[in-house]
Amino acid sequence: MSIPGIGPRTRGAGRTAKRTPVRVNPIRRHALRRGVRLKPAQAIVSGFASAILIGTLLLMLPIATVGPAGATFLEALFTATSAVCVTGLTVVDTATAFTPFGHLVILLLIQVGGLGIMFFAAVFGLVLVRKLTLSSRLTTAVETKTVGIEDMRGLLRGILIITVVIEGGVAILLGLRFWLGYGHSLAESAWLGLFHGISAFNNAGFSLFSDSITGFATDPLISLPICLAIILGGLGFPVIMQLRKQIRSPLRWNLNTKLVLTGTAVLLVAGTVYITAIEWNNPATLGPLDAGGKILAGFFQSVQTRTAGFNSIDIGQMNTASLLGMDVLMFIGGGPAGTAGGIKLTTFAVLLFIMITELRGHGAVNIFHKRLSRAVHRQAITVVLLSVGAVMTGTIVLILVTDLSLDVLLFEATSAFGTVGLSTGITAGLPPVGQIVLILLMFIGRLGPLTLGSAIALAERKILYEYPKERPAVG
């Protein structure tokens, strides 16, 4: 007998009928078990914001500053944001305004911000509980631009080894030079070497010298180790890790590695030639130096546009043409999944090859015998348009609240967004609104417009329909 709407009774009444198990996505199962959790992008944004807040509170302590009253909230907030976002812009002199405790806080913020908040959370979780939760794997994968989440232990271990080796090696080289070449005590030399080594590898640009590296402009034993650390940090961890394993097998390098290495070499050479040629006879920058010193200083400043913030010449005295060229280099930035900022070399390369393909009339975009996915096209275009919008909006606001010229304000906004830290010397003199604009640009630039946009998005849903195609006139 059957009841309408219910169907025949199953055999084995009174016992639980066997049902075919339904496969549930492990990520969804984890979310259902643990309740509503932040999306990876939201976790990253909240992590960086929390680190900035903690750093701000620490830098406001009287023990952190030389003055008895401590730093103001805006000074501490600006410095903490600049450190966590590994930028290097400052509104006070880092060398004289902060005590050794304040310098230590800044250094820790640089290290945490350079490697990533979620990276450190995953490391602590691995050390304390000997395992990584699924949420930790997901957020770390998003932050480090990793495709898979399987070998996260190996990824964390590799990043730690690379960081310790490079920062330690550069710190030793610099420490020895400060000790043997400039008469600093052994302890002071070690501290100077460590601070500048960490600041350089994380592309932060903070210095314990009031004039940054200007006093060592012609000293290759100071300039070149700093440049080496900046370049390596700007390549990105995926590139360094692949080079570590396959440096003698370039045919096996993936597309990301090839693009980053090629782009880095081209822009470093182009930047050096451009800056050196324009500033060669400028009496306020490269003019007084000999030929070797000019080339070294020009190369040093070209490296800094990879999103570091050291300077060995007076940026405020550079020609307007030099500043504009450096704007372009700072906006491009370095490699993805590293300590560099900007839109990233890979994004710029994708747009460049899209343009070349369109001009040639080809259908698919091919780079190094690899075809790019259409999704990569859209992502690159989105990143660039959002980034241009952020820089332009910031520059317009700065124009409205100051009476400074467009070239220096555009340079300041681009430096902040690209987390570079180079400045023409106007940062401290900006009104509070202008400094807040730079804080927002540093935060957006460090996280990336896509990550920030994904964190702000209220919901993600897949559209199950398409509209008819139509092609408007373009160009």
- 428-461 pLDDT tens trace: 999 999 999 999 999 999 888 777 766 666 555 6
Cβ contact 433:405 at 8 Å: no
**DSSP secondary structure, 300-335, as one string:** HHHHHTTT----SS-GGGS-HHHHHHHHHHHHH-S-
pLDDT at 218: 95
pLDDT of 34 reads 47
pLDDT at position 13, please? 45
Q: Is 14 domain-assigned? A: no
Position 26 in a domain: no
Q: Cβ contacts of residue 207 below 8 Å, gap of 6+?
A: 94, 95, 196, 199, 213, 310
Tell me, yes or no, whether 251 lies in a domain.
yes
Q: What pTM value is reported for the model?
A: 0.84
Quickly list H helices, 7-133. 26-34, 40-59, 73-84, 94-97, 100-115, 117-129
Residue 127 is predicted with a pLDDT of: 45
Asked, for residue 464, whether it belongs to a domain, the answer is no
Q: Number of structural domains, the chain?
A: 1
Residue 23 in domain: no
- Dump pLDDT digits (tens) for 36-49: 466 667 777 888 89
Q: Which domain holds residue 297?
A: 34-456
Q: Could you tell me if residue 225 is inside a domain?
A: yes
Q: Is residue 467 part of a domain?
A: no
Residue 160: predicted pLDDT: 84
Stretches in the chain below the pLDDT threshold 70:
1-40, 116-153, 453-461
Residue 29: inside a domain, yes or no? Answer: no
pLDDT of residue 466: 82
